Structure 1
Amino acid sequence: MATVKSPKRPLSPLLSRPGAVPAEGVDEGVAAHYGDIFREQSALADGSGLVDLSHRGVVAVTGSDRLSWLHLLVTQHVSDLPVGQATEALILTANGHIEHALSLVDDGETVWAHVEPGTQDELVAYLESMKFFYRVEVADRTDDFAVVHLPAGSIAPVPEGVAVREVPYGRDLFLPRAELEPYAEQHGPLAGILAYEALRVEAHRPRLGFETDHRTIPHELGLIGSAVHLQKGCYRGQETVARVQNLGKPPRRLVFLHLDGSEVHLPGPGTPIRLAADGEEGRQLGFVTSSARHYELGPIALALVKRNVPLDAELLAGTTAAAQEPVVEP
Structure 2
Amino acid sequence: MTERRPEPVEGSPFSSRPGAVGSPVPLHYGSPLAEQRELAAGRAVVDLSHRAVLTVSGPDRLSWLDSLTSQALARLAPGASTETLQLDPHGHVEFAARVLDDGETAWLLTDDGEGLRRWLERMRFRLRVEIAERDAEFATIGSFAGADVPAAESNGVPLVWVDPWATPSGHAYAHPAEHPAAGWTYRETLVRREDLPALTATPAAGTLALEALRIAAWRPALPAEGDERLLPHEVDWLRTAVHLSKGCYRGQETVAKVHNLGHPPRRLVFLHLDGSDALLPEHGAAVLSGDDEVGRVTSAALHYELGPIALALVKRRLDPAAPLTVAADEERVAAAQEVIVPTDAGATVTVPRIPRLGSARR
TM-score between the two structures when normalised by the length of structure 2: 0.83
Match for 1:173 among 189, 192, 210? 189
Instruction: Specify the alignment match of 1:325 in structure 2.
Output: 338
Match for 2:236 among 222, 241, 249? 222
Residue 293 of structure 2 aligns to a residue whose secondary structure is coil
- Letter aligned with residue 283 of structure 2: P
Instruction: Specify the alignment match of 1:235 in structure 2.
Output: 249
Checking the alignment, whether the CA contact within 8 Å between 1:153 and 1:170 is kept in structure 2 is: no
Checking the alignment, whether the CA contact within 8 Å between 2:25 and 2:49 is kept in structure 1 is: yes
Match for 2:65 among 60, 70, 78? 70
Determine whether 1:250 maps to 2:264.
yes
Instruction: Specify the alignment match of 2:347 in structure 1.
Output: none
Residue 33 of structure 1 aligns to a residue whose secondary structure is coil
- Letter aligned with residue 53 of structure 1: L
Match for 2:215 among 201, 212, 215? 201
Deviation at 1:169, TM superposition (A): 2.2
Checking the alignment, whether the CA contact within 8 Å between 1:146 and 1:175 is kept in structure 2 is: yes
In structure 1, distance between residues paired with 2:13 and 2:148: 23
In structure 1, distance between residues paired with 2:145 and 2:270: 22
Checking the alignment, whether the CA contact within 8 Å between 1:63 and 1:110 is kept in structure 2 is: yes
Instruction: Specify the alignment match of 1:266 in structure 2.
Output: 280
Deviation at 1:170, TM superposition (A): 2.5
Instruction: Specify the alignment match of 1:25 in structure 2.
Output: none
User: Is the deviation greater in 50-59 or in 7-16?
Assistant: 7-16
Q: Deviations over 1:45-81 (max 9, x none)?
A: 2121111001111111111111111100110000001
Q: What percentage of residue pairs aligned between the two structures are identical?
A: 49
Deviation at 1:160, TM superposition (A): 4.9
Checking the alignment, whether the CA contact within 8 Å between 1:85 and 1:106 is kept in structure 2 is: yes
Deviation at 1:191, TM superposition (A): 0.5
Gaps of 5+ in 1: 1-6, 23-27
Match for 2:135 among 134, 142, 148? 142
Checking the alignment, whether the CA contact within 8 Å between 2:26 and 2:206 is kept in structure 1 is: yes
Checking the alignment, whether the CA contact within 8 Å between 1:315 and 1:321 is kept in structure 2 is: yes
Checking the alignment, whether the CA contact within 8 Å between 2:272 and 2:335 is kept in structure 1 is: yes
Q: Deviations over 1:89-134 (max 9, x none)?
A: 0000011100000011001121111111xx2111111111111121
- Letter aligned with residue 195 of structure 2: E
Superposition map of 1:33-44 within 5 A: 33-44=28-39
Deviation at 1:225, TM superposition (A): 3.3
In structure 1, distance between residues paired with 2:8 and 2:276: 38
Match for 2:119 among 102, 126, 151? 126
Q: Deviations over 1:257-291 (max 9, x none)?
A: 0001022330111110011xx2xxx1100011100
- Letter aligned with residue 206 of structure 2: G
Q: Deviations over 1:228-285 (max 9, x none)?
A: 000000100111101101111011000000001022330111110011xx2xxx1100
- Letter aligned with residue 225 of structure 1: R
RMSD value over aligned CA atoms?
1.5
Residue 71 of structure 1 aligns to a residue whose secondary structure is helix
Determine whether 1:163 maps to 2:159.
yes
Deviation at 1:212, TM superposition (A): 1.3
Checking the alignment, whether the CA contact within 8 Å between 1:72 and 1:233 is kept in structure 2 is: yes
Instruction: Specify the alignment match of 2:349 in structure 1.
Output: none
- Letter aligned with residue 321 of structure 1: A
Gaps of 5+ in 2: 1-6, 164-183, 344-362
- Letter aligned with residue 328 of structure 1: V
Superposition map of 1:83-102 within 5 A: 83-102=78-97
In structure 1, distance between residues paired with 2:265 and 2:87: 17
Alignment CA distance shift 1:96-1:159 (3 Å)? closer
Match for 2:323 among 314, 323, 330? 314
Looking at CA atoms only, which structure, 1 or 2, has the larger radius of gyration? 2
Deviation at 1:166, TM superposition (A): 2.0
Determine whether 1:289 maps to 2:298.
yes
Determine whether 1:18 maps to 2:34.
no
Aligned pair count reads 310
In structure 2, distance between residues paired with 1:169 and 1:256: 20
Q: Deviations over 1:180-202 (max 9, x none)?
A: 111332xx200000000000000
Deviation at 1:158, TM superposition (A): 3.3
Deviation at 1:294, TM superposition (A): 0.5
